[in-house]
Amino acid sequence: MSTSNEGGNPAVEPHLFRDVLGHFPTGVVVITAKDAEGDPVAMVVGSFTSVSLDPPLVAFLPQRTSSSYARMYGAADFCVNVLSENQIELSRRLASRDPNKFDGVAWRPSPAGNPILDGSVAWIDCTLTARHTAGDHDIVIGTVTALDTQEPAGPLLFFQGGYGRFDRSAAENAATQLSAQLQISDVTRPHLEALAAETGLETFTQSIIGGDLLIMTGVSATGRSVREHIGRRLPLRMPYGATFPAVDESLVAAWARANDSAHHPEAEAAERLERVRRRGWSIGLVAPNHDEHWATISQHGRDSGHAGVDVRIREALESIAGAYDPSDETLRSRLLNVRILAAPVCDANGAILESIVLFGFPAQAAPEQVQRWAQQLLATAEAVSQELIGFDIQAGAR
């Protein structure tokens, strides 16, 4: 099926166009030039591309109504600055309509005399070679006259209206992490068997692989199969996997991250994590419609990325969040329907290696019973931590 918009056919709604095209990621460059007065002028552009090697041509597509483009329109040359992942603030500033947005920006002149911004990854000086009209934009083609790289940083990316970074090592790291985690799981498994026998419950381990929680190995004392859970990927996202950000500060921001920019969950996350740290373990109580939400959340890693699935997963996590790591008062005051208890296994330096999770609890447990389970779980996590200290794990465990 195709939709033609030739001749101004308004078949394509502007918001749909923006939404769908927003699924294509771009880098971010700043086009710099001198205006008619010789003052520096800058414009943030995602529509930059290399065009030809021989002759060396590049292009960008400015909107014709842009005031920054109007100011650089008469310039015979321009410079393309490839922004780094550390230049989000600069990009925001230079993308604003403030006529004085360039004031205070640090730069040096390129061979052609255009601003090379401090901290940009690379710069490309060009002479204006051709200008084509294309709808409400121009296609500006430049011949490259001088170019170089400067800052050895990763590039800034733009995707679906937000800034991001390129993680070159994600796949490599996942493989290294997996091999270390398999060794850790193998050491842990006999301890899970003892814990399951001791408590009469089910238990599994969770590790971080490629930024997700991965269920590695499990044992059941209840006759139920934990096998269906093995290999399951879950989002490392509040309220799940709280033991990881509780131990590793570098995980907190991503764990607490709100997709909805109007919502500020950092304070709530900090309170939860403080409780987990103080207790030494994390607890999830049964939330209303928990099984239904679990079914949605377990689509993570299988169907995530599909339109709507990520949104539903986020909503499901938000729906159950209130039942996780509640106040001491809640844990003291009534019979508890416990969903999970989790405790971290750490190395000699206190870095988290994995988390041991107990589940399959009977309903309406007395608070004292829950405390006993938590202590049995903690003792197991401690025993595994001790055993792993003497075990030579190959690099890659986080």
Ligand X SMILES: Cc1cc2nc3c(=O)[nH]c(=O)nc-3n(C[C@H](O)[C@H](O)[C@H](O)COP(=O)(O)O)c2cc1C
Contact indicator for 123, 148 with CB cutoff of 8 Å: yes
Nearer of residues 137 and 189 to ligand X, judged by Cβ:
137
Nearer of residues 83 and 180 to ligand X, judged by Cβ:
83
- Kindly state the smallest distance separating residue 68's Cβ from ligand X, in Å: 3
Nearer of residues 28 and 208 to ligand X, judged by Cβ:
28
d(CA 64, CA 398): 49
Contact indicator for 128, 142 with CB cutoff of 8 Å: yes
Nearer of residues 63 and 337 to ligand X, judged by Cβ:
63
- Kindly state the smallest distance separating residue 7's Cβ from ligand X, in Å: 24
**Residues forming the site for ligand X (CB under 6 A):** 28, 43-47, 61-63, 66-68, 91, 95, 97, 158
What is the distance of C-alpha 170 from the center of its chain?
11
Nearer of residues 61 and 141 to ligand X, judged by Cβ:
61
- Kindly state the smallest distance separating residue 290's Cβ from ligand X, in Å: 40
Placement of tokens 């052609």 in the chain = 112
- Kindly state the smallest distance separating residue 203's Cβ from ligand X, in Å: 47
Nearer of residues 26 and 150 to ligand X, judged by Cβ:
26
- Kindly state the smallest distance separating residue 321's Cβ from ligand X, in Å: 32
- Kindly state the smallest distance separating residue 10's Cβ from ligand X, in Å: 21
Nearer of residues 140 and 323 to ligand X, judged by Cβ:
140
Say if strands 48-52 and 57-60 run parallel, antiparallel, or are unpaired: antiparallel
Q: Crossing angle of helices 170-199/367-389, nearest 10°?
A: 130
- Kindly state the smallest distance separating residue 394's Cβ from ligand X, in Å: 41
